[in-house]
Structures are given as C-alpha cells and as structure tokens.
Amino acid sequence: MVSSSNFICPPCEICDCPPPLSLLQIAPGLANLSITGCGSNDPELKEEMEKQFVDLLTEELKLQEAVADEHSRHMNVTLAVAKRVASQYQKEAEKCNAATEICESARERAQALLLKERKITFLWERIARQLGWEGE
C-alpha cells in the first residue's frame, strides 16, 4: 500500500484529457434535486429517492439521445441534399465546359477560314494591281 505522503500527483497542466462531465452538465434539469439530506434517517425512503433520481437521470439521458438521433437524421438529410445539389452543379459545369470547347473549336475554324480568305484576297488584289487596278 502506498502511503499518501509518498504519492505525488502530477501537475494538472500535463493532462490533455477533458474534465469529467458533472451531473449539471449531463442533466441540467436535475440540478435542483438533492437527495443527500432527504430521507437519510429512513433507509427505505432514501432508497426510493435514489430510484426516482436514477429514473429521472435515465429519462433525461434518453431524451438527450432522442435529440441527438433527430439531429443526426437532420444532418443526414442535409448532407443528401447537398450531395444532390453538388451533382447538379457538376452536371451544369460539364455542360458549360462542353459548350466552351465547342465555341473554342468554332473560333479556331473561323480564324483559319479568315486567314485563308485574307490570302485569297491578297492574291486577287495582287493580280488586279498587275492588271492595272490602282485600288481605292
């Protein structure tokens, strides 16, 4: 057995653990119920009061579990909606990318045709000047 004078408690700053939950944090609605002094002389009354306290605490925990379950369901629905909307945006983005590629391809073809037309125009103009045309 270790005597209390030989045991040294480590400093609190080292521990990264969260502090344990108090009864107030677990079930704030039960904070005003106290069984410590009530029925302390009567063992049967004390036992009954402890049972009621445990029942109330159990009910509070079940309610908190129900709220957590509802919150989880709500988050799952929200996530499903977000995934659906993201999928729609992805499809729209793919359409836009395809349209941009089509437009870029058409622009490149038009640019190539314009260059071809300029060459033909230059040739005709050169022939016309050789034949005496002076231009405008």
Q: What angle do CA 31, 32, 35 make, to 5 degrees?
A: 95
pLDDT, averaged across the chain: 82
- pLDDT, residue 98, reads 96
CA–CA separation, 24 and 123 (whole Å): 94
pLDDT higher at 135 or 131: 131
Q: Which stretch of 51-55, 84-88, 93-97, 114-118 has the lowest confidence by average pLDDT?
A: 51-55
Q: Which stretch of 32-41, 45-54, 120-129 has the lowest confidence by average pLDDT?
A: 32-41
- pLDDT, residue 96, reads 97
Q: CA nearest 54: which of 30, 20, 25, 22?
A: 30
- Asked if 39 and 45 touch (Cβ cutoff 8 Å), the reply is yes
- Would you say residue 2 has pLDDT above 50? no
- pLDDT, residue 125, reads 94
- Would you say residue 133 has pLDDT above 80? yes
CA–CA separation, 58 and 71 (whole Å): 20
- pLDDT, residue 51, reads 76
